[in-house]
Amino acid sequence: MSESLIESIFSHADELKIGTYASNLPGFIDSENMSPEELEAVDKVLSHLCKQKNETIIATLLKMSRLPLKEPKTFESFDYTIIHGKQMDALKNLKSLSAVYARKNLAFIGPQGVGKTHLAMAYGRECCNNRLKSYFIKATELNQKFVDAVKFGHEESTINGLVKPSCLIIDEIGKCVFNKESTRMFFDMVDRRYNKEGPNTMIFASNKSPDKWGEFFSEDSSLLCALDRIFDDATVFMIKGESYRGRKLETIAIETSRSKQQAVKTK
């Protein structure tokens, strides 16, 4: 029992990055003749500190991710009953985060209101919960970020910031047109993410199929290279169906009219 407790204490010390200071812990335990109960108390304190550290890291990652915090989009809150198909398991298995660890990109394509953005956000949130950095941005915001970067000479730092997250989510591809400079920056970002090490995924949500994306970018050669990188190893979910927004909408029909007495008075 003591050996397992000591192993647990060392594990917690490593997680708190104080393993170096705990290296002589066995000698201290022997010299103090610590009881199993005392070891349990030490382990309990370190376990609590590890839990607090983990919660702080996750909270910080969520805050930096630009994902909604007030009404978070999660896999648990997604209504799977609206989705049907033989490959439902692939959708439900997204929570395993196999894509980010396999360095595979994801795309959710379909009309408005079928849950594309919800699923993309849920994936990013799950990454944060597993201490992987996520970042959510709409295509219009990304476009403006690139325009501003070119204007103020911040291209390198802007691309660096977009390469760092393990999970980069770009929503609403097809809502704006990227000019030549922005398209080139888009390609540089995709290319550098393609070659980065560690867990890595890009997630796209759009109501336009990828073969239509060329309409929203300039510099065809750069775009083709970027698309090659994006879909070299990717899973694309093509979602069909009607929007489920407004399912709880309640419509109340009322009308106004004047009484005959009021009508006479106004004449």
**CATH topology for 80-238?**
Rossmann fold (3.40.50)
Q: What is the pLDDT of residue 1?
A: 46
Q: Which residues contact 163 (CB under 8 A, 6 or more apart)?
A: 189, 192, 193, 196
Handedness of CA 39, 43, 46, 52 (dihedral sign): negative
Q: In the chain, what are the domain boundaries?
A: 2-65, 80-238
Q: Which residues contact 38 (CB under 8 A, 6 or more apart)?
A: none
> Tens place of pLDDT for every residue, the chain, 267 residues?
467 888 899 899 999 998 888 888 888 888 888 888 999 999 999 999 999 999 999 999 999 999 999 999 999 999 888 777 777 889 999 999 999 999 999 999 999 889 999 999 999 999 999 999 999 999 999 999 999 999 999 999 999 999 999 999 999 999 999 999 999 999 999 999 999 999 999 999 999 998 888 888 887 777 777 778 888 889 999 988 665 554 554 656 667 666 555 555 555
Pairing state between β 234-238 and 201-206: unpaired
